[in-house]
């Protein structure tokens, strides 16, 4: 699902509300249309070829609601869980958010040749601080 985000909106509350509205609407439309899957070996190769050549998507964002309570792995408590949204093709940045047992984890992956990880981290930190302060 590809959506245009109102990144120029200076008010973080208005920007967040618009992003939520835009993505909610786009999700509903995407679900009505169904999905197209590249599930064969040939389809996977075609998708990889297209991903390396596309110029439409530079940033990938996803969020996953995780379990509200802590889980165990082989009897040991799982203390933290972090999302992973690997970048591939010529996508330069991914942001993944996942809740787990009342905490929100955010992972940012960048192509170091195209995006400064330090700048991306500072921008995300500033944006989250603005949202919390309001």
Domain boundaries, the chain: 57-133
Confidence (pTM): 0.61
Measured distance CA(125)–CA(133) in Å, rounded: 12
The whole-number pLDDT of residue 134 equals 61
**Pairing, β 76-77 against β 72-73:** antiparallel
pLDDT in tens, 95-120: 899 999 999 998 888 988 888 888 88
């Amino acid at each position: 699902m590809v959506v245009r985000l109102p990144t120029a909106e200076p008010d973080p509350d208005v920007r967040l509300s618009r992003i939520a509205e835009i993505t909610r609407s786009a999700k509903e439309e995407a679900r009505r249309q169904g999905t197209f899957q590249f599930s064969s070996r040939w389809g996977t190769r075609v998708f990889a070829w297209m991903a390396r050549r596309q110029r439409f998507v530079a940033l990938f964002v996803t969020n996953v609601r995780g379990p509200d309570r802590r889980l165990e792995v082989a009897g040991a408590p799982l203390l933290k869980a972090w999302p992973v949204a690997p970048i591939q093709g010529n996508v330069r940045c991914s942001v993944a958010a996942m809740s787990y047992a009342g905490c929100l984890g955010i992972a940012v992956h960048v192509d170091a040749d195209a995006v400064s990880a330090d700048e991306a981290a500072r921008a995300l930190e500033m944006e989250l601080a603005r949202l919390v302060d309001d």
